[in-house]
Structure 1
């Protein structure tokens, strides 16, 4: 470069410097004392606000770099390759031919007995002959009796071959045992299989507002169980005349399960009935002879010496009276019994154990029966349509045994039973006469009955009663709110 050009270049630099100093004169005035001259005398550094800002900014950048750079490096790192696995063959034991075959499922065909069907009808419906039925009868052994009296809804399982031939039959010998007859290679084999029977207690409580059956149905009881409840207390309660709104009952009874499924209802274990403020109880107890019976809390049998009413009636057509207008004779006459209206042919039962003293026709009474129960007590039954078969004078009868059937023989305007209760030959009102109480359990059995039955079951009945009262109180409280 020539000397002239160097001079010109230096002049331009000076001009640029002066221009920059004029434009940024305020900066140069503030920073004119800064010096980097090592040769000159250095002044001590004075920390002004600008220096603190620059230092803090440098520290912040350094700290952020320490956090961000490693994270960025990790994010950019290539994921490691999955470790390779090797598959090694394993020697397995050879399967036997028996384990490779699926088990054979036998196709048993279930048939339910319809009302009116016979066993031969059921066999015919399966394409089987009377000879097949006879083969089953011959092979059934002790279970044969179950095949002689079949009932509706009873079930039979048939196993038939591909050609329709009989290979097997299953049926209930009794509620706890199933019998199976198999035919193989021309021979018959009988097998008895016990069923898994389980008893579970059921508790029901009801309050009468219209009828016993309506209240029991709301409590979840079947008509059959309602009948059992009525049978227990029929000696003390007339369920047609005596029931009142507000009467209540609590029943503990057994439900029977077979093979884990509900099978049928069992017996009543304990029951309490409140009728017109009077409390009646019944508890099941196994007696010394091994049979079960039902007893009140004081250990007396529920079954009284006499039935209060010996017929299932629809209404009382005439009560006991010292004087009434006779419907046929048309004059005042004493009516020394109770007339129970019922359809013709309704069975009439002996009110108690006794001996038939009279059986035949008697003026006014028509077909008439007198039963002597003890030296002082007898009962009489009139207007029968007919007598029970094989009944004769001197024959002993049991309580509840059918002795005849409702009719309107003699002086009667409609079918009904005229019933009399006599003490020393004098008629008493059957509805109000005091019936003799049965004897309680012997002392040893009575103590066992109280300890094992009454105390635990009475506690359960009280618990149900308290729960019902609490539920009613809560219901009233909610209704008030």
Structure 2
């Protein structure tokens, strides 16, 4: 018993020595000298983002709740989740006020915020119904703003604000797949898709990716008031695959030229010709000898047939000028585009040609020119696509297509300056990545 008593007394003395200095420090600290602190407290489902609460330790500041609209939500269930009182009066205002039309259609995935006082009375409510749309290369968001006045009356208005462009950097190592690695690095899927598209002429991502491959990327995000609105462009990229480094940079010479991606040496990464004019299809007939499906004789098939449903969009495989648009014998409704260096392409059996496509019209790569059909000599809906050199058909699936051009010499200095800037950023990311890998392997 004496031993127990001695231990108890020792603990009390130790506790007094530890707590007394902290108490004296707190007592002597002037609150006005300490910064205001805010606590971010999350309530999050194991499976999806549901709700978050930003509150303050100051009694006179509002409690701000935010939630994501889910399928099946009602206005009442959302307001309850936002911890708003006086639901009937607020719902009655929303139902009768024409300014609140947008909130009557609750779109799953959209964000709603509500600021309340300590008693749960609404101070303001914001419904971000249009998170982002582009206007002259600027992302704009629109939201409904409801404000509580005295005696719990309300007013509502629609707000429009320009988003803020933020630059983000990230790096990663592939352990299973590219998407798993980019997700782990916090990179949006839209940016990941851009990465694969930019380097598609250099890396065959489905087949070439290996465990241990590395990437470093600098990209844009569109934000408003701390909210993520959407992804912008990839600005610079390095991808190391099979011990070979591939790099890319976005360059538009301060918006003085049409922007595009180039490697650090100034070679364009844009494909001169797309391999297919249809995004989703299958090949039913290749270039060369075949039995004609109607005449049942052996003939030279001068192109490639892509089977697709009627109405499937057809896109120009390269930049050019419309040489012919209309009906042409067995080709039915057809478009012929003239390209550089005596190249031309033909798109036949269309159900409908886009109204903008007419003779002499300039067409950009990837621009819509028409829709799949079965006009002319065709047994079913498909696109007959031809690639010609000096008006002589060649096999578009096997021919080695011309490479893209280098950066224009007149703007080479500006390009080199931009490259050096991003190279410096990449070297910094490389150092961070190297340290991160060392820490990972040392655990």
Q: When the two structures are superposed, what TM-score results if normalisation uses the length of structure 1? A: 0.54
- Matching residue of 2:412: 443
Per-residue CA deviation, residues 412-443 of structure 1 (Å, 9 max, x unaligned), is 45543222222221222323243252241422
Per-residue CA deviation, residues 89-124 of structure 1 (Å, 9 max, x unaligned), is xxxxxxxxxxxx953747878674869x9xxxx9xx
Corresponding position: 1:426 with 2:426: no
- Matching residue of 1:330: 296
Aligned residue for 2:179, secondary structure, equals: helix
Residues 314, 227 of structure 1: alpha-carbon distance in 2 compared, 3 angstrom cutoff: farther
Could you tell me which of 268, 280, 289 is aligned with 2:255? 289
Aligned residue for 1:309, secondary structure, equals: coil
- Matching residue of 2:219: 254
Kept after mapping to 2: 8 A contact 1:378/1:425 = yes
- Matching residue of 2:344: 378
Task: Specify which structure has the higher proportion of strand.
Answer: 2
Pick the structure with greater CA Rg: 1
Corresponding position: 1:103 with 2:60: yes
Aligned partners of 1:364 and 1:279: how far apart in 2?
Answer: 49
Aligned partners of 1:467 and 1:415: how far apart in 2?
Answer: 56
Kept after mapping to 2: 8 A contact 1:362/1:368 = yes
Identify unmatched segments of 5+ residues in structure 1.
Answer: 1-100, 138-145, 208-213, 475-481
Quick check: 341-350 or 271-280, which moved more?
Answer: 271-280
Residues 346, 451 of structure 1: alpha-carbon distance in 2 compared, 3 angstrom cutoff: same
Aligned residue for 2:323, secondary structure, equals: strand
Corresponding position: 1:200 with 2:162: no
Q: Output aligned runs, 1:226-245, within 5 Å.
A: 226-234=192-200, 243=207
Aligned partners of 1:289 and 1:270: how far apart in 2?
Answer: 16
Residues 397, 184 of structure 1: alpha-carbon distance in 2 compared, 3 angstrom cutoff: farther
Residues 449, 131 of structure 1: alpha-carbon distance in 2 compared, 3 angstrom cutoff: same
Aligned partners of 1:201 and 1:401: how far apart in 2?
Answer: 32
Could you tell me which of 111, 119, 130 is aligned with 1:155? 111
- Matching residue of 1:306: 273
Residues 106, 274 of structure 1: alpha-carbon distance in 2 compared, 3 angstrom cutoff: closer
Residues 184, 468 of structure 1: alpha-carbon distance in 2 compared, 3 angstrom cutoff: closer
Q: When the two structures are superposed, what TM-score results if normalisation uses the length of structure 2? A: 0.58
Shift in Å at residue 363 of structure 1? 3.3
Aligned residue for 2:330, secondary structure, equals: coil
Aligned residue for 1:268, secondary structure, equals: strand
Aligned residue for 2:278, secondary structure, equals: coil
Kept after mapping to 2: 8 A contact 1:234/1:308 = no
Kept after mapping to 1: 8 A contact 2:62/2:115 = no
Identify unmatched segments of 5+ residues in structure 2.
Answer: 1-57, 80-89, 133-138
Kept after mapping to 1: 8 A contact 2:171/2:214 = no
Aligned partners of 1:457 and 1:411: how far apart in 2?
Answer: 57
Aligned residue for 1:299, secondary structure, equals: coil
Aligned residue for 1:219, secondary structure, equals: helix
Residues 379, 263 of structure 1: alpha-carbon distance in 2 compared, 3 angstrom cutoff: same
Kept after mapping to 2: 8 A contact 1:128/1:166 = no
Shift in Å at residue 135 of structure 1? 4.0
- Matching residue of 1:339: 305
- Matching residue of 1:316: 283
Aligned partners of 1:227 and 1:233: how far apart in 2?
Answer: 10
Q: How many pairs are equivalent?
A: 345
Residues 313, 340 of structure 1: alpha-carbon distance in 2 compared, 3 angstrom cutoff: farther
- Matching residue of 2:424: 456
- Matching residue of 1:219: 181
